[in-house]
Chain A
Amino acid sequence: MGVNDVKPTRSELIELKKKIKLSQGGHKLLKMKRDGLILEFFEILSKAKDVRTELDAVYEKATEKIGIAESVEGRIVVKSTAFALKDTPQIMIESHSIMGVVVPKIESSSVHKPINKRGYGILGTSAYIDEAADAYELMVEKIILAAEIETTIKRLLDDIEKTKRRVNALEFKVIPELQEAMKFITLRLDEMERENTFRLKRIKKS
């Protein structure tokens, strides 16, 4: 809002004062929200780091287990055994709010199965296959957890950025402009007051 657009009236001054008060209140709240989101972000960040480290370790283990299974049993056997598993993991996505930011909550079921529920016969298979399947099931669980945490982090970061822009806009643009406009109106009203007094004195003198 440029100073030139401001009407130097008392009602405008009252309106501006209200706006400044509202903006300052909003600025304080947004600052609190930003700080809260940053705290939340750092808390989740450490969790995300742990999950990533775990996921890397699980991935490495799963790669080794499938490597051993494929080398000892053969890829042909691993592939054929994999055909026996028809059920895919069920994933349910819900949402919840962290300080107004909607983040996902991912629940999964039928990821980890006992060996007698995997579809393949126990007598014709081996521990190589069991352990490769175990490692991959664990990896899927970790991927789901990492997806939940990393999406939350992404959403929080987006919102922190948005809130930061709003806080900065209020702090460095909106509130100073309003204050400038208020200052201008006050000066103009004072000037008008002085002009009026002077005019009255001139009239009285003549």
Chain B
Amino acid sequence: MRLLQKIRRKSRSAQNRGSSNYAYATARVRAMKSNLLPIDTYPRLMNMGINEITRFIQETQYKQEVDELAREYTGVDLIEHALSTNLANTFSKIIRFTEGELCYLVTEYLRNYDIWNIKTLLRGKYYNAPVDEIKESIVSAGQLNYSFLAGLADMDSYTDVIEGLKNTPYYTVLKEFDGTNLSDIENMLDQMYYSGLFHAIGGLGVSDRRLLSTFIRSEIDIKNIRTLFRLKKYTIEDEEEIPQLILAGGLELKMDDIEKMIPLSTEEFGQALEKYSYWKAISNVVGSDMDSLIALETELTKYSIRSATKFSHAHPLSIAPIMDYIVSKRNEVSNLRIIIRGKASNLNEEVIRNQLVI
């Protein structure tokens, strides 16, 4: 925590970010949103075979990525890589056409992809995975571009990767990696992502600050609920470890509330959540006989995506439509992947349908 506070202090608080192009950016994002697949596409896709879905995806906005990657991959792998490459290209485009404070905020929000890629690089090097496999897992949708990340993947060891990231804000956390504490480093990177986001929000104008802050804090609540359910399922009661896994700054679940919830059983925890707005979304799946948390994860994801959409309609000329597009695009990619991977894995149609967020 001390390390995170240091990072917070050191980050670029006094940066002059210039003026934002809200009108232009939101207009472009709205045009891009019109290219997203309509809702009625998914039931149609559910009735198609894998080859038909592949063909369908090839004829949409993903065509370019499918064509480019067709030499390296085939079948479902081709579609999954095309989807994630398209997602990366789209988000990079948003970073490019936004300006000033808006660009700064979008970049901060998309830093989770940078963090994801750094984790992949560390894990890959730690495991001694082949360089090609590490590169395949990179999704360069954040600030760090693919060639920089691929260059890091070419390095010999994780120490070289960390040295390669010396000029990034992640170095403060990464230099603590000693080859045995990978999970701690990953958790610290995630903590750092949210503290960085809060820092970025802190410098905003009143309405935007409130908007984005509500969005992020709700995301934090959902993440904390997920984490607590997981910790309870696996009966992890380490008093030193648990606070490091809880994200501060939630919208409804304050730290004091969470501290009270930590010692509760799963059933009691479920009851304690009844007074929060998230309960509506999860009441059907929370119970004393929760063998699996998959239904809970799915319901919380659906809740998160739906609330992001609602919030964008309420504030049309702000960062909200951009965040909504990011969430919707991510959801589209996720839905397409769920259908095609689910069909390839011979998952029951009902199971696939339950995972979709339409």
Chain A residues packing against B (C-beta within 8 Å): 63-64, 66-68, 70-72, 74-77, 79-81, 83-86, 114-124, 126-128, 130-131
**Contact yes or no, B123 A84, CB < 8 A:** yes
With A80-B123, A119-B182 known as contacts, the answer to whether A64 contacts B347 (CB < 8 A) is yes
Contact status B342-A71, CB under 8 Å = yes
CB closest residue in chain B, given A122: B245
Is the Cβ of A116 less than 8 Å from the Cβ of B294? no
Q: How far is the CA of A126 from the CA of B233 in the complex (A)?
A: 13
Closest to B83 in A: A74
Given A76-B84, A121-B187, also A83-B294 (CB < 8 A): no
Measured in the bound complex, the distance between the Cα atoms of B351 and A66 in whole Å is: 13
- B19 nearest CB across to chain A (Å): 34
Complex partner residue of B227 from A71, A83, A122, A128, CB under 8 angstroms: A122
Contact (Cβ within 8 A) A74 B223: no
Distance between Cα atoms of A81 and B241 in the complex (Å): 20
Chain A interface, DSSP helix/strand/loop, else mixed: helix
The reply to whether A68 and B351 contact each other, CB–CB distance below 8 Å, is yes
CB neighbours of A72 from chain B (8 A): 297-298, 334, 337-338, 355
Q: A79-B137, A83-B129 are in contact. Are A67 and B342 (CB under 8 A)?
A: yes
Would you give 16 A-B contacts (Cβ < 8 Å), ordered by A? A67-B346, A70-B345, A71-B342, A72-B338, A72-B355, A76-B81, A80-B119, A80-B137, A81-B123, A84-B186, A115-B234, A115-B236, A116-B234, A122-B245, A124-B119, A127-B230
Query: With the chains together, A77 CA to B231 CA distance in Å?
Result: 21
Bound together, the chains give a CA A38 to CA B242 distance in angstroms of 54
Count B interface residues, CB 8 Å.
Answer: 59
Q: Which residues of A contact B337 (CB under 8 A)?
A: 71-72, 74
A132 to chain B, nearest CB (A): 10
For the complex, is B56 an interface residue (Cβ under 8 Å from A)?
Answer: no
CB within 8 Å for A67 and B187 given contacts A80-B119, A80-B137, A116-B236: no
B77 within 8 A of A: yes
Interface of B is mostly: helix
In the complex, chain A residues whose CB is within 8 Å of the CB of B238: 116
Question: Do A127 and B245 contact each other (CB < 8 Å), given the known contacts A68-B347, A74-B80?
Answer: no
Write out the residue numbers on chain A whose beta carbons fall within 8 Å of the beta carbon of B234.
Answer: 114-116, 130
On whether the beta carbons of A115 and B187 are closer than 8 Å, the reply is no
Q: Check if A120 sits within 8 Å of B183, measured CB to CB.
A: yes
A71 to B50 Cα, complex, angstroms: 13
* A115 to chain B: closest residue by CB: B234
- B189 contacts the other chain (Cβ, under 8 Å)? yes
Pick the contact of A124: B124, B189, B229, B338 (CB < 8 A).
Answer: B189
In Å, the complex CA distance between A30 and B70 comes to: 67
With a cutoff of 8 Å between Cβ atoms, the chain A residues found around residue B296 in the complex are 127
Choice from B80, B226, B292, B340 contacting A126 with Cβ under 8 Å? B226
Q: A67-B345, A79-B137 are in contact. Are A121 and B190 (CB under 8 A)?
A: yes
B239 at the A interface (CB under 8 A): no
Q: Is B347 touching A83 in the complex (CB atoms < 8 A)?
A: no
> How many whole Å from A92's CB to the nearest CB in chain B?
24
A interface footprint on B185-209 (CB within 8 Å = 1, 0 otherwise): 1110111000000000000000000
Within 8 A of A (CB), among B117-163: 119-120, 123-124, 126-127, 129, 133-134, 136-137, 139
Complex CA gap A67/B347 in Å reads 7
B347 near A123: Cβ-Cβ < 8 Å: no
Q: Is A84's CB under 8 angstroms from B127's CB?
A: yes
* Chain B residues with CB under 8 A of A80: 116, 119-120, 123-124, 137
Nearest B residue (CB) for A66: B345
Chain B residues with CB below 8 A from A126, complex form:
226, 297
For B223, the chain A residues whose CB sits under 8 A away are 123
A71, B294: Cβ atoms under 8 Å? Answer: no
Report the Cα distance A131→B294, complex, angstroms.
8
Q: Does B115 contact A (CB under 8 A)?
A: yes
Which residues of A are found within 8 Å of B183, using beta-carbon distances?
84, 116-122
